[in-house]
Amino acid sequence: MQAIRIENHGGPEALLLGEATDRAPGPGEAAVRVAAAGVNFIDTYHRSGLYPVATPFTPGVEGAGIVEAVGDGVDAVAAGERVGWVMQLGSYAGRAVLPADRLVRLPEGVTETQAAAGLLQGMTAHYLVRSTFRVQSGMPVLIHAAAGGMGLLLCQMCRRLGARVFGTVSTEAKARAARAAGADVVIRYTETDFAEAVREELGDDGLAVVYDSVGATTWEGSLSLLRPRGMLVLFGNASGPVPPIDPLLLSQAGSVYLTRPTLADYARTGDELRWRSGEVLDAVASGDLRLTIHGELPLAEAAEAHRLLESRATSGKLLLRP
């Protein structure tokens, strides 16, 4: 079986294709033939060591495929079923052995490709707008990187909830994609200061919430745009991690809130995992949630996939095909 292995943390060149040892699933586990693996920013954090993972390891926390075998005591899934998963390392491989109770069955009308493209980012968008901060009709919200795979889903969900959606993008092509996904006001941050542009639109009113996956280069401007008791949701570090923040800044900005959530904490239980994944997959099946796939690369080109993602040149999701 071929798999990507990381022997030492580093840049994209640390992603090495090689042969990995197959093993039978143990108690509580299922062996899945991987049809597609999603490429996510968290994969780059694992690779670089920003989020420490003991080496060597096979990266990738999202995928979909067909169950080949199950271990003792498994009744959650059965051989032959189509399943998807998130937050389980080992997806950059032809075959993955995973905890069976963390697999979700794919409904009719959802392909393995769609599941690998939409589960992690769809569930992330779900908890961000439904649980971390409950977006409601009429609220002004700002979404950074609005034309990325994550941003496009957030735009759609916020628009469906009736919010007024502001989005930042880098190019005109990405601006068109963000508008098509539901952004009301699109700001080209390469040409315009996003904070000034938002203030011109809102006047003295501030934003209810900012969804910021960029981090180092945007957090100060994001914080300055919040209305009293608004929330800055930092859920990524595309431009680098945010430095330590003096809590006094939050009171000076209007008793605002700052949170740094992760999907793992919003899908801790099996019930929560099934609730979020079920709503996302049902929305994909019905067409209410549209997925944008930027491209599909063979497993051997995992390093190129990471380069593309980190260059912020993509609009939509990148997939790897074993």
pLDDT of residue 63: 98
Per DSSP, the three-state class of 252 is helix
| CB-CB contact of 119 with 317 (8 Å) | no
- Token pair 């990507």 in the structure block, residue: 4
Residue 313 has pLDDT above 80, yes or no: no
pLDDT of residue 222: 96
pTM beyond cutoff 0.85 = yes
10 Å CB burial of residue 312 (0-12, 13-18, 19+) is: middle
pLDDT of residue 297: 98
pLDDT of residue 185: 98
Give residue-wise pLDDT tens across range 204-252: 899 999 999 999 999 999 999 999 999 999 998 888 889 999 999 999 9
Give residue-wise pLDDT tens across range 66-111: 999 999 999 999 999 999 999 999 999 999 999 999 999 999 999 9
In the chain, residues under CATH classification 3.90.180.10 are 2-119+267-321
In the chain, residues under CATH classification 3.40.50.720 are 136-260
Phi and psi torsions of 314, nearest 5°? -95, 155
| CB-CB contact of 123 with 186 (8 Å) | no
Residue 31 has pLDDT above 90, yes or no: yes
Higher pLDDT, 89 or 314: 89
CATH topology of domain 136-260: Rossmann fold (3.40.50)
The average confidence (pLDDT) of the chain is 96
| CB-CB contact of 92 with 37 (8 Å) | yes
CATH topology of domain 2-119+267-321: Quinone Oxidoreductase; Chain A, domain 1 (3.90.180)
